[in-house]
Structure 1
Amino acid sequence: MASVQAQLQGLSEEFTNLQKELQEHVQSRQKLEAQKQENLGVQKEFAKLKDDETIYKLIGPVLLKQDRVDAEGTVNGRLEFISKEITRLEGQIKETQTKIERKKGDIIQLQTSAQAAAGAQQQQKVAA
């Protein structure tokens, strides 16, 4: 019975660790989504600009003039990178969710078999 208890403890710890991992992935995805929305907003602002308007980039406490093509390229590159990272994280989230479901099944199976064994022992004691 003690080994079953130890197995349950180990499975429970693994389950908890997987839940923490899932939470970290979800938080990372939320941060990326916020960055994506911010960059999409910048991209929309670029679309509103006239050709002769100046773009400035904030670097530390200083505003530096920036070429429009470079600025748009930077934002488009960021959006592409962020989209790839979101896709990668979504894959990790699905994988972690699958692991959690498997671990949950393992825990339930172990608990069920332990209860069945305990019930069998109880019947043997009653019969004796």
Structure 2
Amino acid sequence: MAEIQARLQSLSEEFTKFQQELQTAVQSRQKLEAQKQENANVQKEFERLKDGENIYKLVGPVLLKQDKIEAESTVNGRLEFIGKELERTEDQIKDLQEKIEKKKGEIIQAQAGLQAGGGAPGKVAAKG
């Protein structure tokens, strides 16, 4: 019976770990979505620019003049990178959700084994 309780404890710890990893991945996805939106807005601003208008990039406390082609290339590169990171994060989230569901099933099985082996878990804790 102690063996089943130890397994149940181990499964619970793994389940909690997966939930924390999932929360971190979801937060990462939210940051990436915000960055994607910000860069998409910059890209829209580039489309509104007329020929000959200046583009400035904030570097620390200084605004530096930047070439339009270079600026567009930088933003497009960022959007491409963010898109790939979002795909990777989505895959990670899906994988973690599957692991959580599997672990949940294992916990249910272990609880059923504990109950079948000697009564309800509450009764076992009252004896100790």
| Common topology (TM > 0.5) | yes
Deviation at 1:116, TM superposition (A): 1.6
Q: CA deviation at 1:117?
A: 2.1
- 1:14-29 to structure 2, matched below 5 A, reads 14-29=14-29
What do residues 85-128 of structure 1 show as CA deviations (whole Å, max 9, x unaligned)?
00000000000000000000000011112212225xxxxxxxxx
Deviation at 1:51, TM superposition (A): 1.1
What is the root-mean-square deviation of aligned Cα atoms in Å?
A: 0.7
1:55 aligns with 2:55: yes
Distance of 2:114 and 2:59 partners within structure 1: 63
Cα displacement (A) at 1:2: 1.1
The normalised TM-score by structure 2 is 0.91
- The equivalent residue for 2:99 is 99
Which residue does 1:72 correspond to in 2?
72
Q: Distance in 1 between matches of 2:97 and 2:38?
A: 28
How many corresponding residue pairs?
119
CA distance in 2, matches of 1:21, 1:28: 10
How many angstroms apart in 1 are the aligned matches of 2:31 and 2:72? 22
Q: TM-score, normalised by structure 1?
A: 0.91
Larger Rg: 1
Ranges in structure 2 where 5+ consecutive residues have no aligned partner: 120-128
Which letter maps to 2:67? Answer: D
Runs of 4+ in 1 over 3 A off after TM superposition: none
Unaligned runs of 5+ in 1: 120-128
Q: Output the CA distance in 1 between the equivalents of 2:117 and 2:24.
A: 38
